[in-house]
Every structure is written in structure tokens, then in C-alpha cells.
Chain A
Amino acid sequence: MEMELDQRIAEQLTEVSLNSSIQVRCGTSNAFMVTASVIVPLLHSFEMGGVYISASRGAAETIDALEALGLSTENIHFIDLVSSGFLGGTEVEHKNISFVDSPIMLESVLLRTLYHLRTTDNERNFVFLDSVNALAIYNEERMLAEYLHTFINTFRNREVLTVILNVPDQTPPSVLANMDLYCTDLVDRGQVVIH
């Protein structure tokens, strides 16, 4: 697959620390390119592993897309919040995927992530949340804002880098405002927000 990664994102990532929380804003058309531009340096340059929370699409699809770029995903565990929603969705060959019944089970997602971080051998870890706007489809605004607050602080406390992907014009304004407050860094490849 031919795709040009955004090198400025890799440069920006050199300035963050393990207890940082990065809000990554993207648009609907560049979401995967932005995702890959974050994941590639985390794996290759910083030799990190971690947990990828897949709420936008099935984890198998994300794995296939990343592997098509020549990336090995063996140091990433995927938590798939999408595929249990349809029959046959969880019948995949990848061993590094676990499934949560629904994107509304937010605390289960947090606990599963903590579980995988407890069992991993990686010295440095990230948690990649893909994405806030996908969670916003299912979760009430105040609960989602509360969750992100807990989520960011939980991993910051454990020195785990948090990366939160977000399509701004599909995210409730109060959640966006809270993200601006909680996150330490912003990678902005998003669209203009008009509310």
C-alpha cells in the first residue's frame, strides 16, 4: 500500500514524555494516515508497545491496514469494541485482539487495558484510543467527558503515553472542551470546527 506518512507528527512526538496525553485531531478523510503517522514512530523510533482501543472499526481491519504498511503489530494488543455488535465479527485469526461487548462498557475497556498493560513485557507503553467521536455515538456526553478525564489520569499516573484520536466536528462540544483541558499535547490534522 502506498501512503505518505506525516513526518511532522513524528517530529512532534519527540517532544512528549511517557506521562503525556496527546489529543490527535484528524478529519474523516485522513484518519488512517494520521493514525499510521503516530503509530509508526511509536513502534519504530521509540520502541514502544501498547494497547490500541478500536471503537471506529474492527481491530482486524486496523491490523491488516497497518501490516500492509509493513508494520508488525505483535507488540500491540487490540481491544475491539465494534465486532461483537454483529454475528461472526469476533471470528478472526489474530491472537492479539480481545473483544468487549459494546462501546458503552467504558469501565470494562479501562480494566481490560490495565490488564494488558500488567501482562505485557514492553518497557514503554502507549494506549491509543480510536476514537472519541466513535464513543460519542453510543455514550452520553457527560459520561464520555467523565470517562476521558478518568482515562487520561489513570494512564498518566502509570507513565503510559495516551494518544486520543478525535474527529472534532463529530464530537460533542463539551467533550472537546474537556479534551483541550486534560490533554498535555495537541497534534492537529483536523478540520475546521463550526458549531
Chain B
Amino acid sequence: MQSSSYTRDRCVTGVHGLDEILRGGIPYGSTVLAAGTCGSGKTTLGMEFLVRGAATGEACAHFTATEPSVKLLENIRQFPFFDMGMVDSGLINVFDMDVLYSWLGLEKASFDLEDVHALIKAITDIVNTIGVTRLVIDSVTTLCYKIKSEQLIRDFLFTLGKKLATLGCTTILISEITSATENAHWSSFGVEEAICDGIIVMGDVERMGHLLRFLQVVKMRGTAHSRAKNTLELTPLGVMLTPMLKWGSTVDNKQGWG
């Protein structure tokens, strides 16, 4: 019997603990859904992913749909790990989706097939022109609100992911969800999770009235990975992760908590 030693090249995220969970990083060219509840650290994770790439000379892009880029940068520059010089030097390129819509003449309430294709072309043109190898779209939920049919959302994400992978770009699509419990969907529209190569779920575990942030890699095509819950802490150095205590990852009322 022949054994295969083939492993896919990895995009080393540089996020403390995440590459260990992913046994080396995200397989290059993957589209990963980072689905999380509000305040779970999605935007910080996405931005740190870009910063770590920019630090090694990679061209990075961030499309922001949830807040204006000025506000995003004002918030993120409070973290010492973030270097505004990376934005000034063009290593990290931040785009307002509203500005992009305006350029494309897409200032409308809903998008049809033609609009969706125009949007995909605009994003992939930017990625191709700059030579972007790390991309974050924050959030795909806000973006997809304008796409009214599930089929169109599916087509949009599938085509976008395929084109970005062809360009060698590793992408994180940030998704807003209202619950990260066992029975929750990991995406807002129920289709993103099936299309993406990987799913990272972020949320809170309540422990005696306190919220602990967690991160869990549910799926990642092309690599073995841990599926355990990890506690996430936002530090000045960026995101830090450690496996969540097994006896503390769920509240079991029968055990009475001491």
C-alpha cells in the first residue's frame, strides 16, 4: 500500500495558536467563513490575519461593509500589533464597500445577477491588480443582504471563491450570526457554510455570568485540524488562543457548579 506524503502549501495566519489548531495554517487559496456573534473578535482576527501577512511582505486587502474604513482603522489602530504604516505603504488596502457600489453604479436596495457579476469582477480585478494574497470581506452578511435569492448568494460566493483561489488569494469572509451554540447555523443565509472551504465559529461561553470568547474550527478542507473549543483573548499583541477547559466549555446544570 502506498502512503501519500503530499500536503498542501499553507497560508500561515500568524495568529497565536491558530496555526497550531490548523496544523500549519490555512491551505493556500481557501475561502474561510469566520462566523461569529457580536463582540466575538471577528474583525480583530481578520485584521490581524492581514497584518501578519503584510509583515512578511504580502499584499493584503480588506473590504469593509459594516463600518466606514476611517472608523475601522481608528478602532484597530488602538492595538499595538496594528501598524498604520502598512496602510500608508499600500501593503494593507482598505476599501469601503459603499464606495465600490458607487463606482459600479450599484447604489440600489437589491442586486440582480448582472450586479452580482459586476461586483465579483470588481473585487477580483482589485485582487489581481494589486496582487493580493490575503483578503478579508467584513462582512459577507451585510454584503449578501442586497442579494435577495439564496441561489444568487450561492452563485456569488462560489464564483468569488473560485476566482480568488485561481488568483492564489486566501480569503476570510466574516459572517455575523446571532448564536454560536450547537444548534445554530454557522451562516446568516444558510448557504455560505456549504460553499466555503473552511468554517471558523466564534462566540461566547457564559460561565457564572461572565462571557468567555471562544473560537472553534468546525471545518477546513485540505488539512487535518483540531475541532476543540478554544478560549480567545484579545491582547495588545493580537488574538491569543488556548484550549478551553473541558469541564468549563458548557454549563451543566446537573453538576450544580460547586
Q: Find the residue from A105, A107, A112, A141 having the highest chain B CB count within 10 A.
A: A107
B-chain residues with CB within 8 Å of residue A187 when the two chains form the complex: none
Q: How far is the CB of B217 from chain A (nearest CB, A)?
A: 17
A-chain residues with CB within 8 Å of residue B240 when the two chains form the complex: 111, 114-115
**Which 8 residue pairs of A and B lie closest in terms of their CB atoms, listed nearest first?**
A107-B231, A143-B247, A111-B233, A140-B258, A115-B235, A111-B240, A142-B247, A143-B248
B-contacting residues, A143-170, CB 8 Å: 143, 146-147, 150, 154
| A108 sits at the interface (CB 8 A) | yes
| A104 sits at the interface (CB 8 A) | yes
- Chain B contact residue count (CB 8 A cutoff): 21
Q: How far is the CB of A140 from chain B (nearest CB, A)?
A: 4
Decide if B233 touches A108 in the complex (CB within 8 Å).
yes
Partner of A111, one of B208, B242, B247, B258: B242
Binding site for B on A (CB under 8 A): 101-102, 104-108, 110-112, 114-115, 118-119, 138-143, 146-147, 150, 154
Decide if A104 touches B207 in the complex (CB within 8 Å).
yes
Q: How far is the CB of B145 from chain A (nearest CB, A)?
A: 34
Q: Digitize B121-147: 1 where CB-to-A-CB distance is under 8 Å, 0 elsewhere.
A: 000000000000000000000000000
A-chain residues with CB within 8 Å of residue B241 when the two chains form the complex: 111
Q: How far is the CB of B41 from chain A (nearest CB, A)?
A: 12
Binding site for A on B (CB under 8 A): 207-208, 210, 212, 231, 233, 235-237, 240-248, 255, 257-258
Q: How far is the CB of A162 from chain B (nearest CB, A)?
A: 16
A-chain residues with CB within 8 Å of residue B212 when the two chains form the complex: 105, 107-108
Enumerate 26 A-B pairs (CB-CB under 8 Å) in ascending A order: A101-B210, A102-B208, A102-B210, A104-B208, A104-B210, A105-B210, A107-B244, A107-B245, A107-B248, A108-B212, A108-B231, A112-B233, A112-B235, A115-B235, A115-B237, A118-B237, A119-B237, A138-B208, A138-B258, A139-B258, A140-B255, A140-B257, A140-B258, A143-B247, A146-B245, A146-B246
Contact residues of A: prevailing secondary structure: helix
B-chain residues with CB within 8 Å of residue A143 when the two chains form the complex: 245, 247-248
- Supply 4 further A-B pairs (C-beta < 8 A) apart from A111-B240, A115-B235: A111-B242, A114-B242, A140-B258, A143-B245
Q: How far is the CB of B91 from chain A (nearest CB, A)?
A: 24
* Alpha-carbon gap, A105 to B235, bound state (A): 15
* Alpha-carbon gap, A106 to B249, bound state (A): 12
Partner of B245, one of A111, A118, A150: A150
Decide if B247 touches A140 in the complex (CB within 8 Å).
yes
Q: How far is the CB of A36 from chain B (nearest CB, A)?
A: 30
B-chain residues with CB within 8 Å of residue A110 when the two chains form the complex: 242
Partner of A106, one of B235, B236, B248: B248
Residue of B nearest to A141 (CB): B258
Q: How far is the CB of A81 from chain B (nearest CB, A)?
A: 11
Residue of B nearest to A147 (CB): B245
Decide if B235 touches A111 in the complex (CB within 8 Å).
yes
Partner of A107, one of B237, B242, B255: B242
Decide if A106 touches B245 in the complex (CB within 8 Å).
yes
A-chain residues with CB within 8 Å of residue B237 when the two chains form the complex: 115, 118-119
B-chain residues with CB within 8 Å of residue A107 when the two chains form the complex: 212, 231, 233, 242, 244-245, 248
* Alpha-carbon gap, A127 to B56, bound state (A): 33
* Alpha-carbon gap, A139 to B208, bound state (A): 10
Partner of B233, one of A115, A141, A154: A115
